């Protein structure tokens, strides 16, 4: 009988690792808390930096899954513990699972923008998040203000819930900068006459093609980038939002009215990580993300034998990095299982 791997989380990392491990001859069980596999990809219309449909990557991940993979959705893990060579988990559906190795691929959650109360999310009608905007794109809906008007001026606010000690997240979420640029372009493609402003602290265009789309946003779409972090927002009687920000490159305070404000929400660790940390005795950093055995050369290994990581459970990550890491984790798991 082939050895078994329990994969916790059926998002990008879990699905990719599952496909590779199946090809290597292992029996896989994926436990997914939500009602479907695919994770956050299900909620995204197009991916940076090329604006390809998210569905293409989702279809690839589903296609490469082995038909014999046991996928248990709508299920959480109630109890998990490490034995000498096996991990045992009790699921919320009452079943028990024994596995020879476990992959933690629990990913991340979006920062709850209500915690930045001064930005008015869920208080002001025309303040939405990057996730809400992506959902509008995904549903193919027209972008309107809550008053049903076509917005003439939209502000995109970077670093919401990232690099912010007050909300407890000191880290950079890595992908929101480029998402902000991507969404700015997508707004301009839909409503060319709309003025779009990105308010940023730094633009971290670290990866291939990122700098290109930043330039495209400025040169082709005339998106304006203003260096300054939004300090406060007020709702006008007509529903538009007055914002105050410093134009730090001019050294002057500035105010302007926006018809729609889009908050670029960052990553926070999955809520399940607290429970898994306790059950599997794993290590996390001050930021709540799991700490791998070594942050340079053992990024997919944990401090526990037989427990592995892939994807954003060890920190904010792009999809391509997650997929690469999932394959690395699969190989690491296979090596481990061969030795034991």
Under the rule (CB under 8 A), what is the footprint of other proteins?
A: 215, 218-219, 222, 224-225, 227, 247, 249-250, 252-257
We find the least distance from the C-beta atom of residue 220 to other proteins, in angstroms, to be: 8
**Closer residue to other proteins, CB minimum distance, 20 or 258:** 258
Q: What span, in angstroms and rounded, lies between the C-alpha atoms of 162 and 174?
A: 9
Beta strands in 121-271 (DSSP E): 127-129, 153-160, 195-200, 224-227, 232-235, 241-247, 252-258, 260-265, 267-269
Nearer to other proteins, 1 or 219 (CB): 219
Q: Which is nearer to other proteins, 34 or 218 (CB)?
A: 218
239 or 279: whose CB is closer to other proteins? 239
276-285: Cβ within 8 A, 24+ apart: 276/8, 276/77, 276/80, 276/104, 276/106, 279/77, 279/79, 279/80, 279/81, 280/80, 280/81, 280/82, 280/87, 280/102, 280/104, 280/304, 280/307, 281/82, 282/104, 282/307
- Our CB check for other proteins shows the closer of 82 and 254 to be 254
Nearest distance, CB of residue 152 and other proteins, angstroms: 11
d(CA 12, CA 128): 25
Q: Which residue has the tokens 């589903």?
A: 62
Looking up tokens 């909300």, which residue turns up?
A: 167
Instruction: Classify 123 as helix, strand or coil.
Output: coil
Q: How far apart are CA 163 and CA 268, in angstroms?
A: 12
Torsion 297-86-278-315 (CA) sign: positive
Q: How far is the CB of 227 from other proteins (least distance, A)?
A: 7
Nearer to other proteins, 227 or 277 (CB): 227
Report the nearest approach of other proteins to the CB of residue 175 (Å).
Answer: 21
Minimum gap (Å) between residue 319 Cβ and other proteins? 27
Minimum CB separation from other proteins for residue 181, in Å? 12
Phi, psi at 69, each rounded to 5°: -65, 130
In whole angstroms, how close is the CB of 195 to other proteins at the nearest point? 10
Nearest by Cα to 309 from 317, 320, 318, 301: 301
Pick the closer one to other proteins by CB: 228 or 288.
228
């Amino acid at each position: 009988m082939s050895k078994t791997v329990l994969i916790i989380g059926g998002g990008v990392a879990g699905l990719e690792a599952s496909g590779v491990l199946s090809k290597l001859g292992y029996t896989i069980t994926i436990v997914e808390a939500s009602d479907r596999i695919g994770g956050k990809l299900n909620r995204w219309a197009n991916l940076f930096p090329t604006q390809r449909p998210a569905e293409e990557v989702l279809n690839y991940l589903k296609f490469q899954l082995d038909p014999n993979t046991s996928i248990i959705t709508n299920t959480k893990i109630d109890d998990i513990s490490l034995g000498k060579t096996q991990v045992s988990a009790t699921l919320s559906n009452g079943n028990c699972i024994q596995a020879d190795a476990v992959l933690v691929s629990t990913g991340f959650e979006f920062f709850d923008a209500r915690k930045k109360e001064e930005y008015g999310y869920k208080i002001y009608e025309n303040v939405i998040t990057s996730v809400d905007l992506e959902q509008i794109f995904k549903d193919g809906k027209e972008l309107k203000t809550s008053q049903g008007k076509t917005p003439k001026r939209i502000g995109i606010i970077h670093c919401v819930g990232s690099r912010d000690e007050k909300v407890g997240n000191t880290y950079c979420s890595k992908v929101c900068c480029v998402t902000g640029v991507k969404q700015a372009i997508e707004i301009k493609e839909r409503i060319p006459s709309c003025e779009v402003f990105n308010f940023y602290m730094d633009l971290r265009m670290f990866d291939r093609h990122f700098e290109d789309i930043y330039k495209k946003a400025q040169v082709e779409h005339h998106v304006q980038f203003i260096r300054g972090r939004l300090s406060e927002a007020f709702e006008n009687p007509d529903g538009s939002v007055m914002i105050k920000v410093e134009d730090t490159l001019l050294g002057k305070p500035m105010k302007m009215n926006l018809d729609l404000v889009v908050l670029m929400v960052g990553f926070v660790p999955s809520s399940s990580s607290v429970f898994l940390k306790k059950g599997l005795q794993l290590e996390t950093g001050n930021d709540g993300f799991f700490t791998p055995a070594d942050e340079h050369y053992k990024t997919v290994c944990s401090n526990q034998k037989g427990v592995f990581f892939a994807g954003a459970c060890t920190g904010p990550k792009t999809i391509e990095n997650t997929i690469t890491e999932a394959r690395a984790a699969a190989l690491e798991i296979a090596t481990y299982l061969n030795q034991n």
